[in-house]
Amino acid sequence: MTDLKPKKIGENQYQIDADSSLGMKVPVTIYANDVLLEKMMTDRTIKQAVNVSTLPGIQEHSIVLPDGHEGYGFPVGGVAAMDAEEGMISPGGVGYDINCGVRLLRTNLTEEQVRPKLNDLVNDLFKSIPSGVGSKGAVRLTQSELDEVLVKGVSWAIDNGYGTNDDANVCEENGQMANADPNKVSDKARKRGLPQLGSLGSGNHFLEVQRVQEIHDEEAAKRMGIEEGTITVLIHCGSRGFGHQVCSDYLRISEQVQEKYDINLADRELACVPNTSEEGESYRKAMFAALNFAWSNRQMITHWTRKSFERVFSQSESDLDMKLVYDVAHNIAKVEKHRIDGKQKKVVVHRKGATRAFPANMDEVPSKYRDLGQPVLVPGSMGTGSWILLGNENSMSASFGSTAHGAGRMMSRSKARRNFTESEVKKSLNDKGIFIKSLTRDGVVEETPQAYKDVDSVVNVSHNLGIATKVAKLVPIGVIKG
């Protein structure tokens, strides 16, 4: 609970002024509506954002996006930019599932064509894409192959026959972070990652077959190959046990050196190190390796998804026109240039459960979309729908080029298990025409649509603020979960 009462400073904007008695160096800005804000007030979301505002070198404000909820150290849906020279880098500000992200595939199939074969399709996808806690990927890597994955990211997968360069061209960072260093990764992380490449994992990770329900921006949708009534596939997963271990390792290292760098924290979960320190450099290089692991992971799942569609519809991938629309990363920290106090400045932008939302004409946006803006993918719950948005000009001044990453949880996993049964959840999805296949009962129950905020209201806040604006709404018809 928190007694920190944000004040309304504009439509969908709230603020907590910087209070030096709390150690705050900058204010906290919250983008939400009254209902979303009320929910944030029931857990530690706001308190965590205030704690973030005390970190050395933080710039302008500590931000909470409309999907914000309590996390580890930073709130999920939190964004903070640190001075690249004087500021910190924090493993908790990126999170355990490094580069948990989403990618969207389009097809030229209509719902009418897919419905009669939906169960076959979902069963085939479920069979060909490993999922679940500790699930093993379908490839066996040697140590030196793992090193290549960690350095090359998506291009490793493409070189090994899991896609084409067209796929890499529509990934954030082209699916490959430069300066990743496998030597900065522990043996334990390698051991966890080695068998898991090419697997979906568990928790909120999923693969969804969806129908395009609404188009809000005709031009952007057309450029992305999105048409009303056609079928898309959304893949949501990250760096698996590999990224989790990298985070654990560097949280421990960061905690051990707080005294060395004379860092006093409002919360030990905020453990951080100077960005330019040896430990900061090492964490960055290990985190980049995990980013590359995740991009390669999603690429392989993409390949098997295409193969499933080929088998079930007896058509080739090119006949089905299964192009990758875009791939975004959620949990990430990168050095970027942003305008602060009227001048361009290098900052380390931490996006924890947040999506980059750059506007048109920025070099970082892939050439295919550069004059349009960066596509943004916001998954909702498996019963409601997901959104494609378009990064917009206001994001640069409002949120360091970021927006929400999903609906955000309303209810803990344990509460969901207490309140719902597998058959109830499956029946309610079935009544909506959604077929789900999951490895475990908990995989269904913990992810019940009622456990999530309303993704439409999260997206409306982003749209109204002009941070990222609506392109299209996608609704699920088939889901596979770990």
Query: What are the pLDDT tens digits along the chain (482 aa)?
Result: 446 899 999 999 999 999 999 999 999 999 999 999 999 999 999 999 999 999 999 999 999 999 999 999 999 999 999 999 999 999 999 999 999 999 999 999 999 999 999 999 999 999 999 887 778 877 889 999 999 999 999 999 999 999 999 999 999 999 999 999 999 999 999 999 999 999 998 888 999 999 999 999 999 999 999 999 999 999 999 999 999 999 999 999 999 999 999 999 999 999 999 999 999 999 999 999 999 999 999 999 999 999 999 999 999 999 999 999 999 999 999 999 999 999 999 999 999 999 999 999 999 999 999 999 999 999 998 889 999 999 999 999 999 999 999 998 888 899 999 999 999 999 999 999 999 998 888 889 999 999 998 999 999 999 999 999 999 999 999 999 87
430 is known to lie in a ligand binding site: no
C-alpha to C-alpha distance for 167 and 324, rounded to whole angstroms: 6
C-alpha to C-alpha distance for 432 and 476, rounded to whole angstroms: 9
pLDDT at position 134 is 76
243 is known to lie in a ligand binding site: no
C-alpha to C-alpha distance for 334 and 412, rounded to whole angstroms: 30
Residues 6+ apart with CB under 8 A from 171: 103, 154, 295, 324, 326, 327, 366
Instruction: Let me know: does 446 contact 364? Beta carbons within 8 Å.
Output: no
Which class would CATH give 101-333+372-481? Answer: alpha beta
Catalytic one of 69, 350, 405, 463: 405
pLDDT at position 3 is 63
Nearest residue to 401 via CA among 446, 475, 347: 347
DSSP 93-136: GT-SSTT-EEEEEEEEEEHHHHGGGHHHHHHHHHHHS--STTPP
61 is known to lie in a ligand binding site: no
379 is known to lie in a ligand binding site: yes
C-alpha to C-alpha distance for 100 and 112, rounded to whole angstroms: 32
67 is known to lie in a ligand binding site: no
pLDDT at position 202 is 83
C-alpha to C-alpha distance for 13 and 445, rounded to whole angstroms: 33
405 annotated active-site: yes
205 is known to lie in a ligand binding site: yes
293 is known to lie in a ligand binding site: no
* Its pTM surpasses 0.85: yes
Domain parsing of the chain, residue ranges: 7-95+334-355, 101-333+372-481
DSSP secondary-structure letter at 286? H
